[in-house]
Amino acid sequence: MGSLGAVLRHPDDLYPLLKLKMASRQAEKQIPPEPHWAFCYSMLHKVSRSFALVIQQLGTDLRNAVCIFYLVLRALDTVEDDTSIPTDVKVPILIAFHRHVYDREWHFSCGTKEYKVLMDQFHHVSTAFLELGKGYQDAIEDITKRMGAGMAKFICKEVESIYDYDEYCYYVAGLVGLGLSKLFYASGTEDLAPDSLSNSMGLFLQKTNIIRDYLEDINEIPKCRMFWPREIWSKYVNKLEDLKYVENSDKAVQCLNDMVTNALMHVEDCLKYMSALRDHAIFRFCAIPQIMAIGTLALCYNNIEVFRGVVKMRRGLTAKVIDRTNNMTDVYLAFYDFSNILKPKINKNDPNATKTLSRVEAIQKACMDSGVLNKRKSYIIQSELRYSSTMIVIFFIILAIIFSYLSSTRAKDHHHL
């Protein structure tokens, strides 16, 4: 539920954390009875709990389509990510993957942990895919085909220029944005969004992940994975892996700031995309990951810890984002607040300081121009309060009651089984 220390420092995280925990348990209970759908939704919970939670609010047909779309692309990604697969084996699988989804017998053993289970039992995903409406199937097949071809291209090609970087991100994430827009349109609930905006939605999330996951990717065994473009990192070091060494800390942070500045260019497109959505469940589905991305960039900016370990938002703040994101007012407030966290970190001596400041101010202007910023208090930027020993005792009593309740509920669930 989040570390005890974090909850003690932020007691108002407790209620959203509890709501998230209970919603997660409720979502797990709603897994369909049919074996292939049960596998798909169980697998979704294993590979991405937060994603599984957010899609629960979508209408049944759209939810099933998005679930299968996600698992198909996860499987495709598992093939791409497995550095132990020889290139001459990997490339044909990536290129033909869009055809495998129609084959109930196809599977390919690769990946680790839950991803290996997904690949070994991929026939469940294919069976579920074949039950989707034709409009959903066509959209998933089209995006899978284009993404597989793009991944195959970059298996044999380094990310050299910023153009390459944008192209790679388009193949692995921009196409996800285009595909989701097609699924929303096929459901009859949304207009078809412009490709450029759908692409930006994907690129903003993907670039955030690439920045945050530097250390994990560079330490990948048996072969490191390099997605930061040479055009950016070569301004600071001779080799991309040099950024992780302590002696290069100053250059590493400057390179990191350059990467974050590049990612921020997509924010205004993302705000436009979200502001056009009409369906509440689709809106939340799209908006929550975008807010998480701007929050993660605000934490990563000017932070050497990106090269030492994992930098991510605390669980309680994530729970608040999930709980409190309901309309564009919430989105504008969150983007404004997180850009306010990033802004004071900009060092005037940083090589990209002027460009970063310009991008942050453009985001803040877009949020201010919405005219909603004075309507609500921030839950993201708060003064650190000092809590008395009495409050801490009360907190522990509440925590004990909650755990007693959850334990008794779990015991009842087992009894019913």
Q: How far is CA 38 from CA 4, 32, 186, 408, in A?
A: 33, 5, 24, 26
Given a contact cutoff of 8 angstroms between Cβ atoms, the answer to whether 8 and 315 are in contact is no
Q: Give the Cβ contact number of residue 281 at 10 Å.
A: 17
End-to-end CA separation in angstroms for the chain = 25
Calpha distance 348→357 (Å, rounded): 9
For the chain, give percent helix, strand, coil, nearest 5: 75, 0, 25
Neighbour tally for 304: CB within 10 Å: 13
CA distances from 390 to 13, 309, 383, 395, 397 (A): 18, 36, 20, 9, 11
Q: Within 13 Å of residue 281, how many CA atoms lie on the same side as its CB?
A: 15
316 in Cβ contact with 17 (< 8 Å): yes
Backbone angles phi, psi at 212, to 5 degrees: -65, -35
Residue 147 near residue 171 (C-beta atoms within 8 A): yes
User: Do residues 299 and 293 lie in contact, with contact meaning Cβ atoms separated by under 8 Å?
Assistant: no
Which residue carries 């309680």 as its tokens? Answer: 316
Q: For residue 224, give the nearest of 237, 209, 239 by alpha carbon.
A: 239
Place of tokens 């974050």: 260
Sequence-separated (6 or more) residues with CB below 8 Å from residue 160:
229, 230, 231
In the block, tokens 């800390």 appear at 249
Can you read off the two tokens belonging to residue 149? 């071809």
Active site residues: 168, 212, 225, 285
Which stretches of 236-299 are assigned E, i.e. beta strand? none
Contact 287/274 with Cβ under 8 angstroms?
yes
